[in-house]
């Protein structure tokens, strides 16, 4: 039988200490985020529906995105025990240079639409952390402005070889002059994917006021205030590109892009050339034979061809085909540090994350991007420790397997 007693005041008082008060609303929001899913939830509350859906959505039935995420859910790690894991090294050589973490920030369009701090916040966080930052052709900050806000960040430039080749060549030259060391040519966009959320939301650049957007905006006055009181939202590296997202994409994307363009770009660009959007081993071989230094296995975050191959499942056969002739990177579906660990173990040289940091940006601007990195770093370190691995470079295929049915 339990015998009860009256507790002493000295036993109760330590339990009554109030939690520290966080006066800063952004800090308070971010403190509650334990993972990327939490940042996504905050982002959904903080931004208009059309803006959130542009980031969160994919093409058609969004099967490419869901399958890519489900592939990571099929990962099973093979841990080893009784290893000293008191110190964990997460650094990784990415395209010839050391990075503090085994991932880079992927290129994203319309970034200042997510939060007015946009690419400036993302690039400055990348600089502080020591990882590469990728600027998109459809970014909302110029090639040169990134240098001004983050002069020491490692800079990559993502290129759409759009119909006006003269303008594309000008962008390439500007990137070279500004010290970008890697050019990332996107090749999975002969036409725009059917991004049905954007169509249903009537998303335009710059955002247009309608009854629907007005009513939605009434729930997000801070977002509209930021948009109206800062520089107008536009594609900083392009000219004459306003209208619906679908209209702009079809003006920029070139359905006539061929291997000859890759060869031309190889002869034009002096730095590292990466081909983004590889979805078949045979295509990886073709672009490497044409002079590419790296391939990025990607289905464009599920935003182009629906039912496209899953990038994670392409890593092993691509690595086996290329045999070290070119670096192999991967994106799409990455929402946890363990996803990055799995990709590296399967043979990828590095991963790129996009949506994850955009959720952070929408949730809290620059501090939200910092939170994204902190979450991913912690998950990577914890996963490695629990696997009995002290260095990200020590990961091998025997550390991981893909379960057939999740």
Task: Give yes or no for a contact between 155 and 147, defined as CB atoms under 8 angstroms apart.
Answer: yes
Q: What is the largest CA-CA distance in the chain?
A: 87
15: in domain: no
Task: Give yes or no for a contact between 5 and 339, defined as CB atoms under 8 angstroms apart.
Answer: no
Structural domain harbouring 113: 33-401
117: in domain: yes
391: in domain: yes
CA distances from 5 to 1, 2, 86, 95, 315 (A): 13, 10, 43, 66, 63
Cis, peptide link before residue 206, omega less than 30° from 0: yes
Residue 115 CA neighbour count, 13 Å, CB half? 22
Look up the CATH number of the domain holding residue 214. Answer: 3.20.20.70
20: in domain: no
Kindly report each contact of residues 239-244 with a partner whose C-beta sits within 8 Å and lies 24 or more positions away, as own/partner.
239/167, 241/205, 242/204, 242/205, 242/206, 243/204, 243/205, 244/198, 244/202, 244/203, 244/204
Strand ranges for 160-291 from DSSP E: 182-186, 204-205, 243-244, 272-278
pLDDT digits (tens, 9 = 90+) for 316-361: 999 999 999 999 999 999 999 999 999 999 999 999 999 999 999 9
pLDDT digits (tens, 9 = 90+) for 277-311: 999 999 999 999 999 999 999 999 999 999 999 99
pLDDT digits (tens, 9 = 90+) for 146-196: 999 999 999 999 999 877 788 889 999 999 999 999 999 999 999 889 999
pLDDT digits (tens, 9 = 90+) for 99-116: 999 999 999 999 999 999
Average pLDDT, the chain: 92
Task: Work out how many domains the chain is built from and give that number.
Answer: 1
271: in domain: yes
pLDDT digits (tens, 9 = 90+) for 15-43: 777 777 788 889 999 999 999 999 999 99
pLDDT digits (tens, 9 = 90+) for 200-226: 888 876 666 666 776 777 788 888 888
Distance CA 379, CA 216 (A): 35
25: in domain: no
128: in domain: yes
269: in domain: yes
Task: Give yes or no for a contact between 302 and 332, defined as CB atoms under 8 angstroms apart.
Answer: yes
Query: Which sequence positions are flagged as catalytic?
Result: 300
């Amino acid at each position: 039988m339990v015998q009860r007693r009256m507790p002493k005041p000295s036993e109760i008082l330590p339990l009554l200490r109030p939690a520290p008060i966080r006066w800063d609303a952004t800090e308070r929001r971010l403190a509650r985020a334990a993972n990327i899913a939490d940042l996504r939830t905050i982002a959904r509350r903080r931004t208009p529906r059309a803006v959130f859906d542009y980031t969160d959505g994919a093409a058609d039935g969004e099967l490419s995105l869901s399958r890519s995420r489900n592939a990571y859910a099929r990962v099973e790690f093979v841990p080893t025990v009784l290893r000293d894991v008191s110190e964990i090294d997460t650094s990784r050589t990415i395209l010839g240079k050391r990075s503090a973490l085994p991932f880079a920030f992927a290129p994203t369009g319309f970034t200042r639409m997510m939060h007015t701090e946009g690419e400036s916040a993302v690039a400055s966080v990348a600089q502080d952390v020591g990882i590469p930052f990728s600027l998109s052709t459809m970014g909302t900050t110029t090639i040169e402005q990134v240098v001004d806000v983050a002069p020491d960040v490692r800079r990559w430039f993502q290129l759409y070889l759009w119909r006006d080749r003269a303008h594309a060549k000008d962008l390439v030259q500007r990137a070279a002059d500004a010290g970008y060391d890697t050019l990332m040519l996107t090749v999975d966009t002969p036409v725009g994917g059917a991004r049905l959320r954007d169509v249903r939301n009537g998303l335009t650049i710059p955002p247009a006021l309608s009854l629907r957007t007005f009513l939605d905006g009434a729930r997000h006055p801070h977002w509209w205030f930021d948009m109206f009181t800062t520089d107008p939202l536009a594609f900083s590296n392009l000219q004459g590109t306003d209208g619906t997202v679908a209209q702009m994409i079809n003006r920029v994307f070139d359905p006539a892009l061929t291997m000859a363009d890759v060869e031309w770009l190889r002869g034009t660009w002096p730095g590292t050339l990466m081909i983004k959007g590889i979805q078949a081993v045979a295509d990886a071989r073709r672009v490497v034979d044409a002079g590419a230094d790296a391939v990025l296995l990607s289905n464009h975050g599920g935003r182009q061809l629906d039912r496209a191959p899953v990038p994670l499942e392409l890593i092993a056969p691509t690595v086996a085909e290329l045999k070290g002739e070119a670096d192999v990177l991967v994106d799409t579906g990455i929402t946890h540090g363990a996803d990055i660990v799995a990709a590296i173990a399967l043979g990828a040289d590095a991963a790129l994350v996009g949506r994850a940091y955009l959720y952070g940006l929408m949730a809290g601007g620059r501090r939200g991007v910092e939170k994204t990195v902190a979450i991913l770093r912690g998950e990577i370190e914890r996963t490695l420790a629990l696997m009995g691995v002290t260095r990200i470079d020590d990961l091998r295929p025997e550390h991981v397997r893909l379960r057939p049915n999740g």
